[in-house]
Structure 1
């Protein structure tokens, strides 16, 4: 991993203070990993009432969630210069919504979006730009974020970041990143994880 990516991951993980033990449960012949022995990742709150939600990020040690939404202008058209907004939902604070601060936008949870000639957008995380994401319309004209999950083109729904016991404040031990979405061809929910 390049030192630049490692620094950005370190800054992103600096917001994560503690970890939980790992366990697994089989759901639909897939493994869903637990945040603790009694709390499954899939029991984390799913953002509700978020207009134009594309996907969200959750991570140890709490349920605070970063939401990524379409950035539409007053007439309902996509802002082509800045097509995606990001903000927190602070569930432990009663579900309050808060903007990302400068460090979070620039080094941890921000994203870049570059328009392609075909009208799609190449979207990358500022912390981990090796994961290609694409903002594009589906056959009904609705925008989604697409990525490969288990080598299948999928509509991304959630990213979960698991932190291990080792590491330091500036260089945490990222155990894995889990992607959850819907397989475009089959319509089935799909989950995969990888170590960055």
Structure 2
């Protein structure tokens, strides 16, 4: 049996719940009622379109994730070992929040987020290269390694090409707490051979 759709659903579920809830919030099913028909149309009419901020530039930035229905942003930065000047062998990537939907503060991932949703596993492959996977969707391989510019980047397979991943966006419209209606997932990055931006959008 192929478990890939199940694992992808788990990842999308965590993306939905964690971005929607503050870290300290408890789950209340009453606040995640289905939105359908006239209620949905009325709500959309009065909602202002979200304006997603671009996180401030950082020399160690690898990529970041944003999604509807709010602007909270998940950041993935290179984690350098100060003693060696190279990526930390066990945790070469540092994941954390910028909570734009609150006060724009930075916050570390909590235990559940690290272990079941946004956390990454890392396997050192030698030659300053690492196999990187989301804990909730290990069949999407990422590679952390140096590019021709001498800097570390996250490489992913997009549109049948290896690109330097910069951005992931998830579009959600309605649905329920357990079954959000995911319209599409969009990946953006740079083709290292041409310097051109590559975008791939798909519906999971």
Normalising by structure 2, we get a TM-score of 0.76
Structure 2 residue 59 is the aligned partner of structure 1 residue 56: no
Aligned residues: 176
Q: Counterpart of 1:116 in 2: which secondary structure?
A: strand
How many angstroms does 1:180 deviate by?
Answer: 0.7
Instruction: Give the secondary structure class of the aligned counterpart of 1:54.
Output: strand
Q: Deviations over 1:145-165 (max 9, x none)?
A: 011221122111000111233
From 82, 85, 90, the equivalent of 2:91 is: 82
User: Is the aligned partner of 1:149 residue 2:152?
Assistant: no
Q: TM-score, normalised by structure 1?
A: 0.79
Q: Give the superposition deviation at 1:101.
A: 0.9
More helix by share: 2
Question: Which residue of 1 is the match for residue 75 of structure 2?
Answer: 67
Alignment CA distance shift 1:195-1:136 (3 Å): same
- C-alpha change, 1:123 and 1:38, in structure 2 (3 Å) is same
Match of 1:160 in 2: 169
Equivalence for 1:106: 115
Residues 19 and 72, structure 2, Cα contact 8 Å, conserved in 1: no
Larger Rg: 2
Equivalent residue, structure 2, for 1:194: 202
SS at 1:78 equivalent: coil
Q: CA RMSD in A?
A: 2.4
Q: What stretches of structure 2 of length at least 5 have no aligned partner?
A: 21-31, 33-46
| Residue equivalent to 1:13 | 16
Give the gaps of 5 or more residues in structure 1. Answer: 19-36
CA contact (8 A) 2:64 2:74 kept: yes
Residue by residue, what CA displacement relative to the aligned partner does 1:38-86 show, whole Å, maximum 9, x if unpaired? 747xx52111143401000001111111100111122333211110100
Moved over 4 A (4+): 37-40
SS in structure 1 at match of 2:14: helix
CA contact (8 A) 2:191 2:197 kept: yes
| CA–CA distance in structure 2, aligned partners of residues 117 and 77 of structure 1 | 12
Does the C-alpha gap of structure 1 residues 134 and 140 become closer, same or farther in structure 2, counting only changes over 3 Å? Answer: same
Structure 1 position 95 matched with structure 2 position 98: no
Contact kept in structure 2, 1:9 and 1:127, CA below 8 Å: no
